Amino acid sequence: MSRADAPPPQSREVPTDGRHQRTSGRGRPGRTLTGRDNPHMLRRPPADRTARGFTLVEIIIAIAIVAGLSALAWPALQDAVFRSRRADAMSALAAIQQAQERWRANHPTYQSSLADLPGAGSAISPDRHYDLSLVDGTVSATGYTAQATVSKESSQRADSRCQTLQVVVDGGSLVYSSSSSGGANAAPDPCWVR
């Protein structure tokens, strides 16, 4: 057997005062191995680069962006909800107007009570956001004032700008007005804008 065909000599480690000594299979001592001799021994294995997910910083940034956009959009959304609920009062006041005109076509004066006015419905708007009434002392042969006031049980009471909506009929002319929690709204009326 030639030297080229011989298997490589096996090395073995022999402990010597805390260090490992490398020896060839023939018992000859080699050099002592330390951690610096094998840099792979000191390194941690690389992190798995195929791992999926978000870091905490990315999640916090996403939450901050959503919070900022929500803070900007919330007032516009709230205003749109209030406007849509005002449509409840407008349709109820329109029903009162139509019922009053039908009544007036057959009687010398307008009706002074919603309860006695056929076709006016109840004293509460269909979606229950407004209380409806005819203002005392305003009903005559030539006119009346119908009023829709925000109901105390409705979430619409947060709409401080349009607490009361009114339709004033006087001698054939119509005036749409409203009042806020602080008093009458100035023209052009912000509550009747469509």
What is the percent of the chain where pLDDT is above 70?
73
What pLDDT, in 10s, does the model give residues 48-82? 566 678 899 999 999 999 999 999 999 889 888 99
CA nearest 82: which of 124, 129, 134, 148?
129
What pLDDT, in 10s, does the model give residues 152-181? 988 888 888 889 999 999 988 888 989 888
CA nearest 191: which of 161, 169, 168, 167?
161
Report the chain's mean pLDDT, rounded to a whole number.
Answer: 81
Q: Determine contact, residues 177/163, Cβ cutoff 8 Å.
A: no
Burial class (CB in 10 A: 0-12, 13-18, 19+), 102: middle
Instruction: Give pTM, 2 decimals.
Output: 0.63
Query: Residue 93: its pLDDT value, please?
Result: 93
Where residue 137 falls (left for φ over 0; alpha for ψ -120 to 50; beta otherwise) is left
Q: Determine contact, residues 123/115, Cβ cutoff 8 Å.
A: yes
Domains (ranges, CATH) in the chain? 56-184 (3.30.700)
